[in-house]
Amino acid sequence: MRQIQVALAVLSFVAISTASTAALAVPKELRPGTKPHYFEFGPNVGYGFYGPRGALGGAWLDYMYHFQGGAEGPALGVLTLFGGWNRYFSFSVGPMFQWDFKLVKSKPLGLYLGPHVSTGYSFFSWRGVGDHSFYAMVGPTVKLIVNDFWCFWARPLNFDLRWYGRVDGNFGAALGAGITF
């Protein structure tokens, strides 16, 4: 429930920021991104709702490339997610697809919303017993480009499933920064 409240607060902040930014002139530092590559990192938190229940934490690292040569449109890359909590450790790696849309079309603002999906290999250990699994993840990303170099992002609600003879799942959220190049 706490993660849902945090996600709603982040989305409200983005909506208010977008509305107030649309009424003002956009500084050149917040102009849309022009570079197709980006590398992002940041902490994530989650809650296992099926399988290993309880709080989860870790780090999110990903590299993405936009096919259209800028910060908008389809992007493909590699996701690495690792961490754990309370006798639980996991490491996941796999391809990630994201499609970024400008949130304010009428203004030259580098604020994007991009649904993402990722799938791949995962290793985990819970209470000293390890196993390998297949994972699938889906969720939204909100991203702000600053000076056509820095990017700040939030993934307010991710839904993650893992298959390894049975199904485990969790909800998660992440917040971080990165660079474009």
Q: Report pLDDT digits (tens) over 51-62.
A: 656 677 899 999
DSSP 8-state secondary structure symbol assigned to residue 39:
E
Per-residue confidence (pLDDT) for residue 14, from 0 to 100: 62
Give the C-alpha separation, 115 to 139, whole Å: 6
State percent of the chain over pLDDT 90: 55
Strand partners, 73: 100
* 100 pLDDT above the threshold of 50: yes
pLDDT at 65: 97
List all residues 6 or more positions away from 19 whose beta carbon is below 8 Å from its beta carbon: none
Complete domains list, the chain, with CATH = 2-180 (2.40.160.20)
* pLDDT at residue 6 greater than cutoff 70: no
Confidence of residue 142 (pLDDT cuts 50, 70, 90): very high
Binned at pLDDT 50, 70 and 90, residue 128 comes out as confident
Rounded to whole angstroms, the Cα distance separating 14 from 146 reads: 15
How many helices (H) and strands (E) the chain has is answered by: 1, 8
Nearest to 124 by CA among 113, 135, 115: 135
Mean pLDDT of the chain: 85
Predicted local distance difference test score (pLDDT) of residue 7: 47
Least confident of 1-5, 35-39, 175-179: 1-5
Query: Do 9 and 140 touch, CB atoms closer than 8 A?
Result: no
Q: Is the confidence at residue 111, as pLDDT, over 90? A: yes
Residue 73's closest CA among 32, 40, 41?
32
Give the C-alpha separation, 90 to 108, whole Å: 40
What local confidence, expressed as pLDDT, does residue 68 receive? 93
In this prediction, residues 74-102 reach a mean pLDDT of 91
